[in-house]
Every structure is written in structure tokens, then in C-alpha cells.
Structure 1
Amino acid sequence: MKVSGVALQQIGGLGRWIVLLLLGHWLASAAHAETFAVLVGVSRYARQPDLAELRGVGNDTLLMQAALVRLGLSEERITVLSDDPRLSALSPTRDRIVRVLEEGAARAKSGDWLVLYFSGHGTRVPMRSTTDTVDSPAHPEPDGLDEVFLPADAGRWNPRTRSLENGLYDNDLALLIRAWTQKGASVWAIFDTCSAGDMAKTHALLGAPPTFKRSVAPASLEVSASDLVRPSSKRLSTGSLRLKGPETSQEIYFYATQPEEVALEEKLRPPISWPEWLDGGRQNPRYFGFFTHALVSALENQPKTFQELAERTMRFHATKPLATPVFEGVLQRGFDLFVRPAEKKPNKHRPFLPTGPSRDGGNRWSR
């Protein structure tokens, strides 16, 4: 669209303003900010067959996807890395997670939003660096331990290199997120795993129904006890709502737990966002991560700010006082990341990727 100076001179005063307004609107629309989501869910580990298969992670990923679409995010802007057979998704290996986030950051622009979600096993291992001290500004780990998310191809602890093979470390995630914020984008990162606060799930609730672990003990990865320096001495805060923590105001973090705590996975009735046509609808309880279930339930109340969303999530979570969620960032920011004029309205009938029942008749994830 080109408008010459001569053409503008031939247009009257009012007409000229109309043309300029239309031109400005066209330019703004051409570069409008967008919202994207990357959802990662890992239930099983081929290289770690002794690790318990998580029953709720697949449901978590499906629920988060449905909730985002229900809020107005178009399906084309959601990337899912999951081992759930009901999703046509790529396997959530470490390299694939990194590549998806790096490629997205390369295309990101100022004003964009990234919703980054992780559900699966988390753990803590000794810091990778042997030169940094635990008090180093570049490596602020007061207990000497890094928080690590376990991708599908995670291996065991290597005592020679002092690293967890294919582990996605908290420092790795910080760099991946920073690549987005350096482009002017904002990131809302959600971790429903054990040791989530500073990155990554486990719990044993007395009575029925049973709960399942979403954490991995360092010893099960062959980390020796002598390598674990001053464990369980790091807490993010004395409270749950933190207005400081991230390096920039563009980062919002929702953590299911404090660094040394475990997160819950148990049978719960699906929230409204769960599609009625999927796996028996909302009538039958099934396994979810409790934090994800609480977060989506809070999202359904249409919060106006991140702080309102965090407070509502805490109210749901208050019935399970066994972990302390943590919320970081400028939480007073308006929760308007899905209000984009160029985005599609949610599909009320089939709001996300799966196009039919699960291959096992819907029973796999509701045992």
C-alpha cells in the first residue's frame, strides 16, 4: 500500500486524515503482536525404565491445550511435545525442546508472548560447573544443586562429567527464555513438576485415591550422597506471591512447588475446559497434576491480572497444604495475552488437536 505526497495534497484535510489513519492501522496490523505456546509433557522414559510412568501428565498437557484454545489462542500457535498417544505430537526429547524454543525465539518480535508449560519428572543434582562457587553471581545456587527437568531421553548421572545426561537444567531454561525476552517478547513459564521453584513432581497422600510421584530421587540416577551439597537449604521465599525474582518485567513464573518440595498427581474431576467428547467427558475423574488442575480451574474464572490468577490458583491449592506454589514476576500485569484482534476465536465444538478417542478406549489415563 503506497500513498504518494502528490496524492495526499490532492485530498482534502479530512480525507487526508482518514488516509493517514487507515495507513497507520494497516502498518500496525502488519506487525501486530502474537501469542504462542509450547507445551511439554513427559510421562515415560525409555532410558530409565525403572522410573515410574506418570499417569496425569498426558491429561495435564491435553487440559492446558484445551484451556488455551478456550481462552482464544489459535491451534496453529500451539506447539505440543508429548508422549501421549492421543496427541499428534513430537516426542519431548531434550534436543527437540531446545530446538523448538530457539526457532521460536529467532522469529519472535517485540510485544509477543510465549506461554511455556512443563509437566513431568523433575529432580535436583549437583551444579555442573566445578569452577563456579555456590555463591557465584553467575550461578546462584545456595545449596549447590541445580534443578533439572527430565526430557524423554534423559539418562543417568555421569560422575566423571558431573552432569545428568540430556537433563534440561535450570540454567539452560533461563538462556532459552532470555532469547525471547531479548527480542522484546514476554514469557509466562509454568512448571508442574517437583523441585519446580527454580525450575521442576512426587507425593504420597494418605488414604484413597492414591497419588503418584513427579520427582526423581538423585540416588535413582546414581548420584552419590557425597555429591549432594547441603541439600534442602534453598527456599525461594517465605510467601508465595513474589513481585521480584525474574531478571526483567517481561518474565512471569508459576511454580508448583518450592525447590525442595514435591508436587501432587491424583484423580480429580476434569474442569470445564476438558472437552466433553474426549475420553468420556467430564463425568469421570482421572489423574491430573494438582497444580495444573488448580491453574486451569482458576483460568476459567477469567482473571484480569496475573496476580488475580495466582491468588485464585492458591485458593484451589489451599486444600492440599503439602506443597507451596510460587509465583514470580510483575504479577500486576494485565492478563490480556490472548486478546489479540488478529487471532481466531475459540472453536467451541472441538477446541484442540485430538480428533477422536484414545487408542485404548479412554481407560489408559484414568486408572
Structure 2
Amino acid sequence: MSPVARRSMATREAWLSWLLLLALACLAPRAFATQRALLVGVSELVNQPQSLWLQAPRNDVALMRDALLRQGFGAGDITTLADGVSGAALPESQAIHDALSRLLAQSRSGDFVLLYFSGHGTRWRDATKRYQEPDGLAENFLARDVRGAVGVDSALAGGVRDVDFDAWVQAFLARGVFVWSVFDTCAATSMTRNAGAAVPAVAEGPADDEVRWRGLRAGQLRAAPAAVPPAAPAAPPVAERVARARYVAFFASESHQITPELRLPRQGRNARPQGLLTWAVAGALERRPATWRELFDGVLALYPPVIDELAQRFPTRELPSPVAEGNLDAPLFANSAGAVSTLPAWRAQRSGDSLVLQAGLVDGLQPQQELRINATLEDGTVRSAPARVPQVDSDGARLPVPAALRELSGGALWSASPLAAPAAFALRVRGNERGLPQRLSLDYPASVLALGAGDTAAADVRWTDLGAAGQRIEVLSGALGAGTQLLADVAAARRRIETLARLKWWNQLLAMSQASASPIEGFEAVFEVWRGDRLLRSEPAQRAAAGQLLPLREGERAALQVRNASGASVDMVVVGIDGQGGLRPVYPDDPGETNRFERGTREAPAAKRFELPWLEAPGGRLLVLATAASPYTTPRLFGAAPLEAALPEVRVRGQLAPDKARQTYAAMVRWTGEGPSAR
């Protein structure tokens, strides 16, 4: 071979080696990303009477471990803390914190972590918390060594506080780790808040089919002897708070409920005590779900037969409804903030040749809208067919099962997704020949429709690109606050158009809610004006009269007081627009947090005040929407939550249904001219 040929070959080999190294470098984050899990199961409370012990947590961690191994987790990447499990460390308080610390030290950006806890929970008043719950109570997970003594920091010795869990989750998120948390534990038997009330039994039923209830009062726990002072809880790391784009959590019940453990599967030959949520999660994973939403839908589908049986056996108990929060549309077991689909997926139930959708007008579903119906079979196979929904009610709809899917078995899980946002709610924008700004980001059902030169439809907005002089947005619709605004660049124009598109949907939603829904008895939202610690004036948000509360004077500030004494949880969104047209989330204020507002009663209402420092100039608006919660369904965000542009719509589900028709509260406080008005 000639020297020239050898040099040519060497050059090609060098290029190939360089390309190979480049490819490996590009693949490295995915190739070396790891899936890890911490499984904690506490059956025995060694410092407490055995009557308070549980049976299933040791079985729960074994079931979850097997399920994770089938999902591709490495055996060496699963840490187990549980009593009664061979090779596992004991689940004591310090051991739990140490395991979390080691797991955090191992984790790198791109990793996935499951934090799983099975056992008892309890609640009590903790005045040291930065964020006070609406019902005033704090949640705690009980470790094996728990003692019934509240320390100087209001921390239960041997308990792991909710604020500590939150700090650990934040620490993982700050490192770019995707976190899935599962809590197969209830908060407490706090349905009755009177300390003198009778304490329900932990175990009920015959020995061969006993049901145990997870959740204790702090007063049931035996304190440590005086000579044994409670150990100070380990402090979790302090980390920068980041948006919860890489976060999902499943909870076995709402904060005021208890959850059962019993022999599962029912009537199964190999049935053994299991936590209901854990058993349902493991079963739902067998259907090979693609997203967290699909996984949770599978969990919810397994609950009704067990709940129906428990309701017959224990008719006076309030039974649990699971809750989920976070980025439910992200792909399962992946470190991704992106959604598999940004269109909603509504659960459906089959009844003969009909499908009943758990979505209606307030969700943006319209009569004759085109849908895609999906049926997931027991083996994970998905069958789909197009359909139209003939009639839609305020919060539900019914349509025929598509002919192509009618032969499917009763074990299929059904859902429906719209093929596009409804045009009736679209913000009509007349622009120039360049069309609309690129990369508009909107959550269903808000959307934008560009009007062409020959389109005679009335425009809501006119957008003009002035080049170096900026961007002009002319709002032509009085309902959207007619006026002209000059913006610096296309990005600012895009954000303004997105806000106006949401506002158009909010106005439609407000009108529909007020026309079709009955009020939530015992729920109220009050708009307030304060000076320092003194309340100057207030008015129910639905009746806030023009000129009486706004404009604010020097030294005054606005706030919203929400009070729930309805006896049920509500799904609530509070969101605003400031005087500059920017979106202002109020509740929830983080897209990864649940929009559930806690249950309260007339004797012990759940209440919270939200400060509104941005509501101080003409053009500002405040929207309050709430609906009585419904069990085993998706609690509604109404398409009203102002999520980050980079995030998909986040939905939460799993509340209790009232015994009557759906109730809704809707109000919008807004500035018009020199003063505000309310609708």
C-alpha cells in the first residue's frame, strides 16, 4: 500500500474513531442514567402496643420490588428498609434519613428515583411549618421506633414529617432527578377533630379475613420513658426550589382519610395481606402503561370492587380515594419533563353499548366534537377508534361505543381524547402575512386561530409586527379588556396572545359554570383589603361591587380568603392576570402540586388566605373556580391553571364525591375603567 493510501486510511480511521466517541458522548446521559428505588415498609411499631401494628407493609415492599424488577430495575439499585423481610435493614427514623442521604449522593442528573413508603401515618398541629395546611394539621409517617412525644421542634420522635419529605424531594429535583413518590399510608383518623372522640379500631373483621386501617392519632402513641429523651430528627438537605416538572406522587387517600390493608386479591388462592394502593399499582403495571396518567387510571380501575365490598362491611366508614399529583403525562420511568401528549385523556366507563365520559362542558368538551376512543386490554394492547360525542352535559357526556370496539371484553380500560381544541373557544387573531408568533404554548381547551386576509370573521385581537419599533397588540373585544399595547419583541407578543387566549376560555368557563351549576354549600371565597394587620373591607368574591374594594390606596394590599366547610374536598384553581397582562398562579402556585383544597366541616373549616400583591392596577383580574370533588376521577383544573410554557398540563385526581349533583363555585374580580367589577 502506498504512503498516500496509508495516510488516507489512517485519516478515515481517525474520523471514524472521532465520530464513534462523539456518538458515545451523545448517548452517555441516557446510557448511564440509573433507575433506583427506596422501599420502606413499617409493620411493627416496637415502642407501641401490638394492637397498633400492621401486617401488610412487609408484603407491600416485596410486591413492589418484584414489580420493579419486571420493569427493568436492577436488583442492586433497590434499597429495602422493612421489618420481617430477609436482608432488609430495619425501618427506623434515622435509618430512613440515612438511606435517603445515600440515595441522594448516588443520584445524578438524568436518573430516576422511586421513594416508596408503606405503614401508619398520623397528624397534629405543627405551628413551626412554613406552609400551614388549610385544616391546620401536619402529616407524619411513623417509623418503626416512633414514640408519642412531640419535641421542641414539634417533631414526633420516630416520625418523618411532611416538610422533611418535601425537602428530600426538592433535593432530588434540584439535581435533575425524576422523582416518583408513593405513600401507601393515610394521614390519620382525623375525620373527627375532637380530641375526646372515640378512636376507631385499627383491626376489624374475622381473623381469617381481617381488615386493618392505616392511620393513628398522635394521642394513641405511647411516649418514651422520662429517662429516654426523644432523639432530634435528622435535618434533610436544603436545596434550591425548582418547578416540579420531573415529579409524580401517588397517595393512598386524601389527608383526612384512612386506607385499608386486607387479603388481596379477593378470593385469590394465594391472597395475603396487602396495602390496597400497593396491590393496585402492581396490578396496573401489568398493563404496560405508557404514562403516569395511564398507570393511575389502571390503579383507579382496580379500586371499585374492593371499595364496594368494604362499604358493605363497614357502612359507617369513609373509604379512601387515591390522589395523584405532578406531571402525569410524562413517559413512565423516564427522566423527561415533556408530555407524551398535551391533549387531555378523559377516563370513561362502559355501560352496555354506551360509554360514559368523566368530562363535560366545563372541561372544554363540546357537542359533536371529534374524539379518539382508546381501550386498553389486560395484556396492555391498545385498540382505538374515532367517534363523535352527540350530547354533552356540564360535567359529563355519553356516546355509543364505536362499532369497531364493541366486541372487546369487560376487562378493557376506556379513555377518550379530543383530536383538537374546540374552535368555538379559540382566540381569533388578525396578523400580518407572517402569521402568528412561533411556539405558542397553550393548554387545552384554550387555542389561537389566525384570520387570513379574506376571512370576514370578527377578530378578538389584531397583532402588528412593527419591526425594530416593537410589536403592537390591539385587543378588540371588550370582554378581554379592549385597548392597545406596544411590546418590545415577538416573545412578549407571544406571551400576551397566550394570556388573552386563556382569558377568552376563562370567560366562557365562568359563564357556563354560573349558568349550569349549583353553589357549593359551605364553601366561600372572600376578597379582602388589608392595611398591615388590620382588615379594612371585604366582600364575597361573587359580589365584590365596583368601586367599593378597589382601587387600592397607598399602604393597602389585596388578599383572598378561602373557607371550605362543605364536608367534602374541592378541586380549586385560583389564577390571576396582573395589570401588565402577565399570568399569576395563586392556587396551586407550583404546577407539580395538587389543586385539591382540603375537606372541612362547619365545626372545623379548612381555610387559607392568599396574598395578591400584584392585583394593584387596572387590567388585573382574579379568577376563582372550584367544584365539589369526585371519587376515582380526575379532579378538574378546568384548563384554567397558568402552567409554565415548557410544561404539559398537570392534572390531579382522586377526591370524594358528594351525594348530590356536581356543585361549582365561580367568580372573577376584575378592574374595569376606574374601578373593579365582579362577575
Answer yes or no: same fold by TM over 0.5: yes
Query: Is the 1:39–1:118 Cα contact (8 Å) retained in structure 2?
Result: yes
Q: How far off its partner does 1:163 sit?
A: 3.0
Unaligned runs of 5+ residues in structure 1 are: 1-6, 133-137, 197-201, 224-245, 272-281, 339-367
Whether 2:329 is the aligned partner of 1:332: answer: yes
Residue in 1 that maps onto 2:117? 118
Whether 2:187 is the aligned partner of 1:195: answer: yes
Q: How far off its partner does 1:203 sit?
A: 7.0
Residue in 1 that maps onto 2:78? 78
Instruction: Give me the whole-angstrom Cα distance separating, in 1, the residues matched to 2:145 and 2:264.
Output: 29
Aligned residues: 286
Q: How far off its partner does 1:161 sit?
A: 5.5
Instruction: Give me the whole-angstrom Cα distance separating, in 2, the residues matched to 1:317 and 1:247.
Output: 31
Higher RCO (CA < 8 A, seq sep 6+): 1
Residue in 1 that maps onto 2:249? 253
Query: Is the 1:94–1:167 Cα contact (8 Å) retained in structure 2?
Result: yes
Greater Cα radius of gyration, structure 1 or 2:
2
The 3 A distance-change label for structure 1 pair 104 and 28 is farther
Unaligned runs of 5+ residues in structure 2 are: 1-6, 189-200, 224-241, 309-318, 336-679
Q: How far off its partner does 1:52 sit?
A: 1.9
The 3 A distance-change label for structure 1 pair 270 and 106 is farther
SS in 1 for 2:11: coil
Instruction: Give me the whole-angstrom Cα distance separating, in 1, the residues matched to 2:73 and 2:251.
Output: 22
Match runs of 1:197-346 below 5 Å: 209-221=209-221, 247-269=243-265, 283-319=269-305, 320=307, 322-337=319-334
Q: How far off its partner does 1:51 sit?
A: 4.9
Match runs of 1:80-119 below 5 Å: 80-84=80-84, 86-119=85-118
Q: How far off its partner does 1:151 sit?
A: 0.7
Instruction: Give me the whole-angstrom Cα distance separating, in 1, the residues matched to 2:150 and 2:17.
Output: 65
Whether 2:176 is the aligned partner of 1:184: answer: yes
Q: How far off its partner does 1:173 sit?
A: 0.7
Instruction: Give me the whole-angstrom Cα distance separating, in 2, the residues matched to 1:34 and 1:262.
Output: 34
Instruction: Give me the whole-angstrom Cα distance separating, in 2, the residues matched to 1:146 and 1:8.
Output: 72
SS in 2 for 1:109: coil
Query: Is the 1:44–1:51 Cα contact (8 Å) retained in structure 2?
Result: no
The 3 A distance-change label for structure 1 pair 175 and 335 is same
Whether 2:143 is the aligned partner of 1:151: answer: yes
Instruction: Give me the whole-angstrom Cα distance separating, in 2, the residues matched to 1:158 and 1:186.
Output: 33
SS in 2 for 1:194: coil
Whether 2:64 is the aligned partner of 1:64: answer: yes
Whether 2:163 is the aligned partner of 1:171: answer: yes
Letter in 1 for 2:187: S
Query: Is the 1:8–1:16 Cα contact (8 Å) retained in structure 2?
Result: no
Deviations 1:38-75, CA, capped at 9 Å, x for gaps:
00000001111355221111111100001100111110
Q: How far off its partner does 1:156 sit?
A: 0.8
Q: How far off its partner does 1:22 sit?
A: 1.5
Instruction: Give me the whole-angstrom Cα distance separating, in 2, the residues matched to 1:53 and 1:91.
Output: 15
Q: How far off its partner does 1:304 sit?
A: 0.4
Letter in 1 for 2:254: Q
The 3 A distance-change label for structure 1 pair 26 and 95 is same
The 3 A distance-change label for structure 1 pair 111 and 142 is same
Query: Is the 1:156–1:164 Cα contact (8 Å) retained in structure 2?
Result: yes
Query: Is the 1:128–1:163 Cα contact (8 Å) retained in structure 2?
Result: no
For residue 24 of structure 2, the aligned residue among 22, 26, 30 is 26
Letter in 1 for 2:76: E
Higher relative strand content: 2
Letter in 1 for 2:109: S
Deviations 1:73-121, CA, capped at 9 Å, x for gaps:
110100000102x421111111111111112212211110001110011
Instruction: Give me the whole-angstrom Cα distance separating, in 1, the residues matched to 2:61 and 2:292.
Output: 21
Residue in 2 that maps onto 1:363? none
Q: Identity percentage over the alignment?
A: 32
Deviates more, 1:16-25 or 1:254-263: 16-25
Q: How far off its partner does 1:174 sit?
A: 0.8
